Structure 1
Amino acid sequence: MITSVLVANRGEIARRIFRTARSLGLSTVAVYSSADARMPFVDEADAAVHLPGNTPGETYLRSDLIIDAARRTGADAVHPGYGFLSENAAFAQAVLDAGLTWVGPPVDAISSMGSKIEAKKLMAAAGVPVLAELTPAEVSADDLPVLVKASAGGGGRGMRVVSRLEDLAAEIDAASAEALSAFGDGTVFCERYLASGRHIEVQVMADRHGTIWAVGERECSIQRRHQKVVEEAPSPLVERIPAMRPRLFDAARKAAAAIGYVGAGTVEFLADEDGNFYFLEMNTRLQVEHPVTEETTGLDLVELQFAVAAGEHLPPEPPPTVGHAIEVRLYAEDPLHDWQPQTGTLQRFALEREVRVDSGVEDGSEVSPYYDAMLAKVIAYGPDRTAVARRLAGVLQRATIHGVGTNRDLLAWVLRHPAFLAGDTDTAFFDRHGVAPGPDDAVVRLSALAAALADAAGRQARTPVRVPSGWRNLVSQPQRKSYRYGDVVVEVEYRLTRDGLTVAGDTALISLDCGHVVLEVDGVRRSFDVAAYDGLTCVDSSLGSVALRPVERFVDPAAQVAAGSLVAPMPGTVIRVGVAVGEVVKQGQPLLWLEAMKMEHTIAAPADGVVSELTVEAGQQVEVGAVLAVVGEET
């Protein structure tokens, strides 16, 4: 009998499991790294144990420390969540050896699916459709394009698409190196690449008594870097091809039965537009996107995990799927700059609660470079797919998210895109349609004007003598204030007159206080909410959200870097250095590779030249803005 559960995870999924555990009357235990000491999940647990260090290797991947924490706190069960050790058979066995209940599948089932190469052989033998595996040596021009995949992991790590035979060897080496770093196993294989396939998966739930449920399917085709961004249930493709669902469910049940599966798991398939599908992998754990299945079935999958772990029987059949649910993953990243992760303090985080928000953060949370960039999952449910998509887009657009850049605008754009609303959602969505553009120049300028006016009003309110800066007895020059938006500097003007603050041109100031500005342009009135933080001003309006950085009038010379300097765009770890001092390089040539938030990022030469300085080495941790190398002219 389970009375206390330790969740061997962090963030959003830890909070999600705690929520169900509390409803079942179980006490909860958290483990946390130094970087996570002030995160919400730590305070929400009944007890918490510190794992010294920051990186996953020092903390959440240390099975010995986690089991010791369970012993010290009196926990009698361990739930792994997803990621980290959730699909590690050795960890599952260690939990059982310690006399604890493992809230997960049998150790042998985890081992069977741990190698994608061996898993595909098992599935083929069980009658599940698979794509033929290709060894790197046998790939020919007729096989192209191919996908190089890590055998031991997922999440887009160790994965490369190869379209030219001459690139194959180099991409295999790169994928193998990334897989070795991420999973401790550099084994890779190749398979035929379906450039515009559909990613369809089936949620399974099985008990110890032979009952196997296929609990509806999900579609997760909209991806970036082979990682999911938007997930929904049911699948638009399967809805269009009704005969596909029984075949999918039958294949998923066969897959689970072939390995004696028990608990919650997901069988993933790659499908084409005609309804043909092929086994990709089986995730022997709870999936990130499990909420859409919960919303459309009324099930609590975590509660079922606890029940199955305790030996309870499942009913003969699962409940039917009703309505439609869509989940979006809110990431701290910049889609317009190669999905670059964003770090820093999340000053404000507020979404309307008319939808489900599974979040790992709150106001004041620190987004660190050590873990996945996902801040929250936002899920909407209703009877109609189009209405659900539009409602979810509106909630995202009205969200207040300050301090860290996110993919919020991209998600709202996807949900309103005609192709998405038509159900045309294959894995090449972003390749075909691009990504959401940022706000246009007019919106940025109007937001900057609102920010400057709110700043001026705030300074007036704080000034003991009511003669504000810039006041003149006669008409003189306007006040000017500059903001940086990305790489662009925006300068705006306003005047201080006997009647107060005014603006010129076709823009009229209607009302103003420190945090709220109403402007009218060409007869259209709009409201702007302005929030100022140290070095950052955030402006929210119906035109969108704009994050501005005030430009200081006097720049600290120590903050300047030499021309040709390559600086770290984010905190991270240097995993490879591809050049040496004195080496001649070409514009765009990769020079260094950084790893941050479970993603690999290439730092390339900004121009032709020679490497005159190299300030880092492999394995070194760097902060954002740190100079990594300098590329000077060849002369």
Structure 2
Amino acid sequence: MKKLLIANRGEIACRIIRTAREMGIATVAVYSDADAKALHVRQADEAVHIGPSPAAASYLVGEKIIAAAKQTGAEAIHPGYGFLSENAGFAQAVIDAGLIWVGPKPSSIEAMGLKDAAKKLMRAAGVPVTPGYEGEDQSVERLKQEADAIGYPVLIKAVAGGGGKGMRKVDAAADFEAALESCRREAKASFSNDEVLLEKWITSPRHIEVQVFGDSHGNVVHLFERDCSLQRRHQKVIEEAPAPGMDEATREEICAAAVRAAKAVDYEGAGTIEFIADASEGLRADRIFFMEMNTRLQVEHPVTEEITGVDLVEWQLRVASGEPIPLKQDELFIDGHAIEARLYAEDTVAGFLPSTGRLEHFDLGVEGRIETGVEEGDMISPFYDPMVAKLVVWGENRSEAIDQLAEIAEGVEIWPVKTNAAFIANCLRDADFEEAKLDTGFIEAKIETLVTSDVANETIWQNAADFIALAETEEHEDLPIGLRLNAQGVLTTTLTHKGETRKVSAAQAMAEDVATGFVDAARAVVFADGQSFVFERQVRGSGHHSAADGAILAPMPGKVIAVDVAEGDAVTAGQRLMVLEAMKMEHALTAPFDGTVTELSASAGSQVQVEAVLCVVEPAED
């Protein structure tokens, strides 16, 4: 294999490029309109445009991807995860085109693609399966009868489901039919298949998965387990390896079952066998049941790499080239503990809504292993998954790893895009998490304590004033000390944060290691505990939201939703000029002083970038 096309984007594309380069393999990126300047495009040796921004018109069009491989002379296609990675039809099309498919056989993907068929296959292979119903009779009457026999609560799952869609928990028989109808409707819309299966609801569930790897020579090994129990709405947030509380006897049984599962479908390449564990009495082999198989590389694969020292992407490329698995089972062992957190572009305070825009400030520090597909100045697009990065650490033990990852999350500096960094840190610092008291309902049960307010406290207000004072001093270093500050010897500045305006004096002695941040003409931004706090400032006597000379600047990227003035209008200090919608909030921009609007460059409905001059107000003559 000399040239590899990566049929994906973002951090996983960058991750694959890194290993390919180390192996001397040239890489080809594909990109949509939205990703024309993306990091994976910049890092690859070649790049091919495959269509408009929506994934359905680009990354999900297999014909375009295969054509790109042919065009560039790539011999192989790596699908990453998501998009077409578990599409048996695409895998077969790649093979039929005479290319190498870096993944399992299409037949293996098909065998594990439908949950009901997969469960039957696993039961026959001696893999423990959750009690339930996977029958062909899909009538409401039969399904309700089976649910009654299983006993409530039960879980209704779409047979073609994934990503938490097409799932409903039913607590009582009276609720079954309504839940079934809702589940089927969602499954039909998401997967074009409204068939369901039933499972016994596990009361203290933990999500345990085993990394497996097969080759074309009949070898299958496992690389131990991961715990992915910390989830929000069935989406994983924090993953770790090995699973806390897993004894050797249970590990041996569950990993052996995972190997049997992989062999049952003649598996090649990287895959994951996912189990649900009833942890009400700890992790026990007789209470861990097969859920499904993911026939691809997982988002959380780095934690397995960290504890085994194995590069799973390298193994994928070698096995796809016909080589045997590089290590035998008895050569694999667990070393230390690894944890990964998914850093999402989302506003946790606003109900975890996605947060998009340009990364004007982007610093994840230098500690740990950072897997990302963006750099400072890149855009977080509304078209794709909102994951910004994966933060990964390794420690001698679990406690050490937790501390390392919490510190990294608390040190995240991203603005103006919002992230869940503070939420991640709060999860890691939670006493129950530290003591490994986990289940998949952990986040939901503690959500009110895990989401931190984005309103600045007194310390943060003080930090903002201190940063401005420091910036003012550095800007006028040629002036005597007495001229840098006001009569009281302390610079006082007027700041506005979330609609509250205060005059704040800089401290005589600035605190150290409290927070970090930056200052510009329009604002001070303070980073603390994984959050960003924005303070709009008045500079050198000018008014709210203004720079010197009456230029009204956009405090952050956003959309102008109202303009209240026109060129030539006379305005008074504090009068609203326009409204900017940014970061899911409305921000009124006001006149800094009495004067006249001499320039107006913004119009209702227009998108503006941070620090764009929206209008200019000239002061009234005395």
**Quick check: TM above 0.5?**
yes
Q: Determine the structure 2 residue equivalent to 1:482.
A: 496
How large is the Cα RMSD of the aligned pairs? 3.4
Q: Determine the structure 1 residue equivalent to 2:525.
A: 538
- Residue by residue, what CA displacement relative to the aligned partner does 1:339-394 show, whole Å, maximum 9, x if unpaired? 22211112222223331111111111211111111111111112211111111111
Contact 1:152 1:185 in 2 (8 A): yes
Matched, 1:290 2:276: no
Q: 1:316 aligns with which of 319, 328, 347?
A: 328
Q: 1:150 aligns with which of 158, 170, 173?
A: 158
Superposition map of 1:467-546 within 5 A: 480-484=494-498, 489-494=499-504, 502=505, 508-510=507-509, 518-519=510-511, 527-532=514-519, 537-541=524-528, 545-546=531-532
Q: What SS is found at the alignment partner of 2:417?
A: coil
Give the structure-1-normalised TM-score. Answer: 0.77
Return the alpha-carbon distance in structure 1 between the equivalents of residues 251 and 83 of structure 2. 32
Q: Determine the structure 1 residue equivalent to 2:439.
A: 426
- Residue type at the aligned position of 1:253: V
Q: Determine the structure 2 residue equivalent to 1:436.
A: 450
Q: Determine the structure 1 residue equivalent to 2:193.
A: 185
Contact 1:101 1:309 in 2 (8 A): yes
TM-fit CA distance, 1:413: 1.7
| Percent of pairs with identical residues | 43
Q: Determine the structure 2 residue equivalent to 1:582.
A: none
Return the alpha-carbon distance in structure 2 between the equivalents of residues 378 and 109 of structure 1. 31
TM-fit CA distance, 1:404: 1.2
TM-fit CA distance, 1:105: 0.3
Return the alpha-carbon distance in structure 2 between the equivalents of residues 233 and 143 of structure 1. 33
Distance 1:536 1:406, change over 3 A: farther
- Residue type at the aligned position of 2:165: R
Matched, 1:263 2:262: no
- Residue type at the aligned position of 1:299: V
- Residue type at the aligned position of 2:240: E
Q: Determine the structure 2 residue equivalent to 1:619.
A: none
- Residue by residue, what CA displacement relative to the aligned partner does 1:550-572 show, whole Å, maximum 9, x if unpaired? 38848998269xxxxxx99869x
Q: 2:429 aligns with which of 396, 416, 427?
A: 416
Q: Determine the structure 2 residue equivalent to 1:208.
A: 216
Distance 1:531 1:186, change over 3 A: farther
Q: 1:330 aligns with which of 343, 351, 364?
A: 343
TM-fit CA distance, 1:546: 3.3
Deviates more, 1:362-371 or 1:344-353: 344-353
Return the alpha-carbon distance in structure 1 between the equivalents of residues 112 and 404 of structure 2. 38
Contact 2:465 2:493 in 1 (8 A): no
Q: Determine the structure 2 residue equivalent to 1:58.
A: 57
Q: Determine the structure 2 residue equivalent to 1:360.
A: 373
Contact 2:356 2:381 in 1 (8 A): yes
- Residue by residue, what CA displacement relative to the aligned partner does 1:521-564 show, whole Å, maximum 9, x if unpaired? xxxx66543324797642024x663322538848998269xxxx
Superposition map of 1:225-624 within 5 A: 225-239=233-247, 242-273=248-279, 274=281, 275=284, 276-314=287-325, 315-317=327-329, 318-434=331-447, 435-439=449-453, 443-452=456-465, 454-455=467-468, 480-484=494-498, 489-494=499-504, 502=505, 508-510=507-509, 518-519=510-511, 527-532=514-519, 537-541=524-528, 545-548=531-534, 550=536, 553=544, 558=562
- Residue by residue, what CA displacement relative to the aligned partner does 1:574-612 show, whole Å, maximum 9, x if unpaired? xxxxxxxxxxxxxxxxxxxxxxxxxxxxxxxxxxxxxxx
Q: What is the count of residue pairs matched by the alignment?
A: 535
Contact 1:198 1:271 in 2 (8 A): yes
Q: Determine the structure 1 residue equivalent to 2:31.
A: 32
Q: Determine the structure 2 residue equivalent to 1:159.
A: 167
- Residue type at the aligned position of 1:309: A
Q: What SS is found at the alignment partner of 1:424?
A: coil
- Residue type at the aligned position of 1:284: T
- Residue by residue, what CA displacement relative to the aligned partner does 1:259-289 show, whole Å, maximum 9, x if unpaired? 1111110000001124111111000000111
Contact 2:157 2:166 in 1 (8 A): yes
Q: Determine the structure 1 residue equivalent to 2:46.
A: 47
TM-fit CA distance, 1:220: 0.6
- Residue type at the aligned position of 2:360: Q
Distance 1:410 1:301, change over 3 A: same
Return the alpha-carbon distance in structure 2 between the equivalents of residues 153 and 85 of structure 1. 15
Matched, 1:222 2:233: no
Return the alpha-carbon distance in structure 1 between the equivalents of residues 2 and 530 of structure 2. 47
